[in-house]
Structure formats: C-alpha cells, structure tokens
Amino acid sequence: MKVQLGARSYDILIGRGVMHGAGRTISARLPKARLAIITDETVARLHLERFRDGLDAAGIGHVCLPVPAGERSKSFPVFQSLCEQVLDARLERGDAILAFGGGVVGDLAGFVAASVRRGMSFIQVPTTLLAQVDSSVGGKTGINAPQGKNLIGAFHQPALVLADTALLDTLPDRDFRAGYAEVVKYGLLGDAAFFEWLEVNRQGVFRGGAERDEAVARSCQAKADVVAADELEGGRRALLNLGHTFGHALEAAVDYHTERLVHGEGVAIGIMLAFEFSARLGLLPDLDVGRVKHHLTGAGLPTRLSDIPGQLPPVDVLMDSIAQDKKVSRGELTFILVRGIGQAFVERGVDPAAVRAFLEEKLTQ
C-alpha cells in the first residue's frame, strides 16, 4: 500500500518473507545508496546476518550500528553517538539510514536520518508488531527527555517500509501482546467493524498466518489514511494517540523500566483509562467499557494501574507528565476521548481537577 503524501509518498510492503527481497527492493528505489543499519543487539543476534546477506547479494554497501535494546536507547547520548558514527562512516546525503528493529530503533534511527546532513533518506524494516502497525508509518521520529517521552524529534517520512510478518515469529509473547494494543487502538478510535473482526479473529492473529497479515495490513491502512489527511498532527492525526496521554505518563512514572512496563502495555492501560474517564463524563455506556476490558484482558494485556509491578508515584507526578504531553495547547490539557467503540474525538480544555480526581481513585483500586 502507499502513504499518499505527494512528493513524500512511499510504499509499505507487507507479508511473510518481504525481508528476503529487501536488497533488490532498496536498490531499485535508491540506486547506489550506502546504508547505515541501526539495530538493537537482540535483533542483530536473531536476524542481522540473513539481512546483510541479502544486501551483499544486491551489491549494497552498508555499515551496522547496534544499540542496546530498550527504551533507554532513545536518549541524547545514544543519538549523538549514532550521528557521529554515521559521519565517521562518510555516508553522504544521498545515502540512507535503515532502521532494523522495533519502535525504539525506528524512532531513534529516524531522528538520526532527519538530523545528519540536514536530512538523509530513511528506510524502516520493523521487526515487532508494534512497529509494523504503528511507529514505522507516519514519519514521527525522536528521543525521550527527562521531562517525558518523545518530546524531542522531527517529522521525517521514510522512503520505504518493509513489514515482514515472518519476523514476528521470534517475538516474545509479551512483546507481541504489547504490539496488539496498537492494533486494537485502530478499531477503537475509528473503525468499529475492525474491532468486531478482532473480537472474532484475535486468536488467529496471535497464531500467525492470514489473520495476522490482515490485521497488520488493516492497521497500516488506517494509519496511512490518517497520516495522508494530517501529516503534521494539526488535527485528525491526534486521534492516533488514543490511550497515549495516560500511557506515556505511566512509562515516565516507572522511569522507562521495561521490566515493569513496555510501551504497548502502557497504551493498553491508557486506552482503558480513556474509556473509563469518558464513561465518567457520561460520554458512553458502561457496556462499551466492559467490552473493551474483556478484549484487552483476553489478549493478556494489563488494564489497571495495579497491574503495573511495584509502587507508582503519587498523582502529582502523573499530572506533571500529563502536563508535558505534546497535545497540551496554551497550558490546556487535551485528551482523546470516546463516545463509543470506533468513535474517538479530540477534547481540548479538559478540567485538570477532574483528571486528578479520576487518577487518585484509580491509584487506590
């Protein structure tokens, strides 16, 4: 499928075995380009040798720049080191940065591509479910700051996305479940029929095969449509952040310790909080809240603050993180709320006192 952005349009290739033809595909789109492959140590151990063999067969020169696995690699020191390594390798503006990994690697590598030589070509080869259905599409890149997640970065669209669903066969169960939260998000924010399809086909998605490929494709198409309509998140694209305002605050609250909480788990809890808060405001029936909770728990995802191991900080800390959210405008809180399944909307000027009271209650449950 294609993300339609005029001169910045690009293809997303989806299916089992897509990676095996990556060399030919890349050389056809970026002739004579050299690559800096940014990956993490886990992906390098599992898949890098086969991937490099394909690049060698296509005559594509490349260097490999591994980083530690985990959210903490999205930092200034790692970003600086990668920029310097790309320059030391003498890659030129006409060469490309290739992200070979999950969402952390994609966000980090994309920011390097946006920054070095004021912008280099960028290729995404996502290796996790979360990255294939969400972070690899749309051009959001960046790193974290002490003040919050993804607060430093740039919009920089890839030239190509290769989503090989066979790579998901080696993904740990926890990481697959976490990525599934982003799949569910697309149904909940604007496609009730897709959520109904997931209710019927969830087990097939987890087993692999045709259902998994369809879930990835439908998720990518949903995101591509939104990005094409609002590339720089001026309006409709904010809907893609359903569950993320709460979720990012929770990730910051555990200091990005992934043994306690990974991104998709934060999104799952955040989605549940968004539905419960919307119900608290009288926007939707409790029946919809229960239906969403049943589906998420059935997928093995956390839905309550108490599902996060260890003690959480007091509500003031969570509110400070929420106040740093990228959707905040002129100091007013903005949340993605819902009027029902598939009926998300952007609500500006949400009362902080109402959010605080809601979170104080949830922290005691």
**Is 107 assigned a ligand-binding role in the annotation?**
yes
**Is 47 assigned a ligand-binding role in the annotation?**
no
**Is 105 assigned a ligand-binding role in the annotation?**
yes
**Is 332 assigned a ligand-binding role in the annotation?**
no
Rounded Cα–Cα distance for residues 249 and 252 (Å): 5
Rounded Cα–Cα distance for residues 313 and 307 (Å): 14
**Is 62 assigned a ligand-binding role in the annotation?**
no
**Is 103 assigned a ligand-binding role in the annotation?**
yes
101: which strand partners?
A: 126
Q: Which CA distances in Å does 204 have to 174, 207, 218?
A: 17, 5, 15
**Is 295 assigned a ligand-binding role in the annotation?**
no
Residue pair 199/292 in contact (Cβ under 8 Å)? The answer is: no
**Is 42 assigned a ligand-binding role in the annotation?**
no
**Is 74 assigned a ligand-binding role in the annotation?**
no
Residues 333, 135, 337, CA angle at the centre, nearest 5°?
30
Residues belonging to the active site: 118, 140, 182, 223, 233, 237, 241, 244, 248, 263
The counts of H helices and E strands in the chain are 14, 11
Q: 121 phi and psi, to 5 degrees?
A: -60, 155
Rounded Cα–Cα distance for residues 340 and 189 (Å): 9
Residue 62: its H or E element: strand 62-67
**Is 244 assigned a ligand-binding role in the annotation?**
yes
Q: Which CA distances in Å does 57 have to 20, 26, 60?
A: 11, 12, 8
In our burial notation (b when 16+ CB lie closer than 10 A, e otherwise), range 144-176 reads: bbeebbbebbebbbbbbbbbbbbbbeebeeebb
Residues annotated within the binding site for Zn(2+) are 182, 244, 263
Residues annotated within the binding site for NAD(+) are 103-107, 127-128, 140, 149
Residues annotated within the binding site are 103-107, 127-128, 140, 149, 182, 244, 263
